[in-house]
Structure formats: C-alpha cells, structure tokens
Amino acid sequence: MQHKVMGYDRATTMFSPDGRILQVEYAEKTVRLGSASIGITCSDGVLIVSDKRLEDPLLLPEASIKIWEVDEHIIATAAGVLSDARILLEHSQVIAQQHRVTYDQPIDTESVIKDIANIQQSATQYAGTRPFGIAVMLIGINRDDKCKLYVSDVTGNYLGYKASAIGENDEKIKDLLQVGYKENNNIEQGIKLALNIFKKVLGKNFDIKRFEAAFVNKDNKKVKRFYSDQLSKYTK
C-alpha cells in the first residue's frame, strides 16, 4: 500500500525503492487470471490444448479461437488480455511470411518467440506505454524436425520447455505435467494427458465444450485443429 501512496505504480519506467516495477507485477497477475493452456512436445509433433472458458451454446466454435496459426509449422496461444496477444501474434505472422519470401524456407520457432519477447520487453522500458498483459506460448517444428516449445512472460524473458502451461492454475498443471509427461508420447496420448490434467484441476467445472486443441504433425508439418466435438473421444 505504501508503494501505491508514493506513486511507484504509476509508470512502467519507475522502480520502487525495493527494486520492483509494480506495473509489470500487476500485468503478471493479469496473466494468472487468464484461462489456461497446455503445450506438449510429442514424439510425432507438437500440441496445444486450450481452455477458452466460453460456454455460450450460440457461439460458433471456429469464430472463437484461442490457438493461432503463426505459420504452417508453428502455433501459439496466450493467457491474459487476448487482444494484446492478437497484436503480437499478427505481427509474428508477418515476420514468418517475410522470412519465407526472403529466404525461401520456414522460420525457426525460436526466432519468432525472440521477436515477440523483444516487443514485450520494450513495453516495460519506455514511458507512455503499459506492459502487454499476456504470456505467450509458441510451439512448432523446425526444419530439422525438432519439436520446440517456448513461453515468454510479461517482462520479455522466454524459456524453452518439453511441456508447460500458462494461465490460471499454471503451477498445479505444471506439477501434474511433471508426473504424467513422457517424451515418447504421441499426439493422441498428449491430448489425453492434457484433458485429464484439466479434469483434475477444474473438477466439477470441467466441460469438454470449453476446449480446443491444435497440433502440428512431423509428417506434413501442417496445423490441424480439434474442437470440442472432436475432443470428446479423448475423455473416455
């Protein structure tokens, strides 16, 4: 409370006396209020399963997506203020296409997340802006057929994972991933694992209609989406 009275939370360029940037910490809280997503690297590809937290029966499933296609071989999701995420991911789509035109080959996954993270970092450094209130999960298959998963945070840092989670209850989900994740799991087994984890975390609030999934297979490196009606078989 003393920090607020002193005004140290009024700008992203102002450090508090104990070395914290309070606006960035507020943005990190926003991320943890967002609906959760799980990303998994599998033996035959990469996978994201997302909770859209939308249960309107009149809503078209394909009109409300939480998993974006960055390029044919890369997909992404975010937790937090999704309109912030749309700006960054549409920018990353342009970067990916420019790379194809310039070099006649697909862009590496890490190059995309690094570009996104740089923009996130710059929003914490200059006056007159606010931090992007999102964490971004980017997952894809590189030209050498290696599966890559990266997560960037509000501050602009990013790390690579075999499997990870962002959004609400991310720590609980990560604990369950550490127990259930196996490197030789295929995509179907990965979907089952992710949905079973969501079942345990959400309990009575679990509803398959809230979820969507997307994956990229090593064989063709093309994005394929599953909506709730296609996911229901993996919960049996």
| 129: its two tokens | 């802006």
| 198: its two tokens | 């969501």
Q: How far apart are CA 48 and CA 224, in angstroms?
A: 11
In 3D space, the residue among 149, 150, 138, 72 whose CA is nearest the CA of residue 106 turns out to be: 72
Fold entry, domain 34-225: Glutamine Phosphoribosylpyrophosphate, subunit 1, domain 1 (3.60.20)
Q: Mind listing the pLDDT tens digit of every residue in the chain (236 residues)? A: 555 556 777 778 888 888 888 899 999 999 999 999 999 999 999 999 999 987 777 777 677 789 999 999 999 999 999 999 999 999 999 999 999 999 999 999 999 999 999 999 999 988 888 899 999 999 999 989 899 999 999 999 999 999 999 999 999 999 999 999 999 999 999 999 999 999 999 999 999 988 999 999 999 889 999 988 889 888 87
Every domain of the chain and the residues it spans: 34-225
Count CB neighbours of 219 within 10 A: 9
| 26: its two tokens | 């507020």
What's the pTM value of the predicted model, to 2 decimals? 0.93
- DSSP-derived letter for residue 131 is -
